[in-house]
Amino acid sequence: MRRKLVVANWKMHGSRARNRQLLDAVKPPLQSLAGRVDIAVCPAHLHLGETVAALAGSNIRPGAQNLYGLAEGAMTGETSASMLVDCGAEFVILGHSERRGHLGETDAEVADKFAAARESGLIPILCVGETRAERDAGETEAVVSRQLDAVTEKTGMEAMRGAVIAYEPVWAIGSGTPATPEQAQAVHAMLRERLARRSEEIAGGVRILYGGSMNAANAAELFAQPDIDGGLVGGASLKAEEFITICTSAGS
Ligand code: PEP
């Protein structure tokens, strides 16, 4: 039985004051979900330290939104996995479509980042997903398989043990139109089946989150699908009531 996981992706939003306000609002109600649903919040790197401090003693775990795939070195402006761990991060989002699409992040770079996360003890949240054009061309399976295989082929299946995948159709992110539960379930089941070809046991433990316009109104229906193990939530995670409702749906 996979416990559901809800991850807030704050993206490049927030300020020290706004983050504090948001966490003050969500921490007490979410405390009642301890032991029933796992919850994480991923702020911008600059806000990680204060977020970690604000989450101390709560059941919400801190994460980051990216890392650079080298242990350390001459790489101006970048942040390594070990730095994130040192600052208290437990999770890291990798290969988000905004990074793949706008910043040219490649499958190979995402695989390097995944390996670096694992080596440092971070739990990677590997984002995969197709664009609208790719879906319309019937390429969804090929695209997400390519994105997943780039990681498993580099790191081996053992590195997927306890890892998290987020299926985020690019056309659903920030659009207000999520995938239907059936569309999402079909891709989630396909991803799990692909992992199971390498190891059924490991595949059974990988949590596959759905991301893309998840909100308080649609979360329960998505969570009811057998292979949807939680959510990666963007816009709605910035609104306390929405995020509380989403986490509550995951825990019931
Ligand atoms: C995301 O970008 O990870 C995401 C899921 O965004 P939104 O919920 O705003 O669609």
Secondary structure of residue 223 in the 3-state scheme: helix
Predicted pLDDT at 240: 98
Phi-psi region of 243 (alpha: psi -120 to 50; beta: other; left: phi over 0): alpha
Whether residue 238 has pLDDT greater than 90: yes
Give yes or no for residue 75 having a pLDDT over 90. yes
Residue 1: per-residue pLDDT: 81
Output helix, strand, coil percentages for the chain, rounded to the nearest 5.
50, 15, 35
Q: What mean pLDDT comes out for the span 191-219?
A: 98
Supply the residue whose CA is at minimum distance from atom 8 of ligand 1: 234
Question: Using one digit for the tens of pLDDT, what is the confidence trace for 87-136?
Answer: 999 999 999 999 999 999 999 999 999 999 999 999 999 999 999 999 99
For 67, the 3-state DSSP assignment is coil
DSSP state, residue 41: E
Sign of CA dihedral 163, 98, 238, 51: positive
Average pLDDT across the chain, whole number: 97
Residue 210 belongs to domain spanning: 5-70+77-250
Of the chain, the percentage scoring pLDDT greater than 70 comes to 100
Out of 5, 42, 66, 214, give the residue to mutate to test ligand 1, the one with the largest number of ligand atoms within 8 Å of its CB. Answer: 214
Which residue is catalytic, options 105, 109, 134, 168? 168
Number of independent structural domains in the chain: 1
DSSP 121: T
Whole-angstrom distance between the N-terminal and C-terminal Cα of the chain? Answer: 14
Give the domain CATH number at 214: 3.20.20.70
Q: Are 175 and 213 in contact (CB under 8 A)?
A: yes
The pLDDT score that the predictor gives to residue 71 is 86
pLDDT of res. 15: 98
Q: Would the pLDDT of 61 be above 90? A: yes
pLDDT tier at 146 (50, 70, 90 boundaries)?
Answer: very high
pLDDT of residue 252: 86
The pocket around ligand 1, CB under 6 angstroms, is made up of 9, 168, 173-174, 211-214, 232-236
Annotation says 168 is catalytic: yes
Classify 208 as helix, strand or coil: strand
The predicted model scores a pTM of 0.98
HSE-up (13 A, CA, CB side) for residue 100: 23
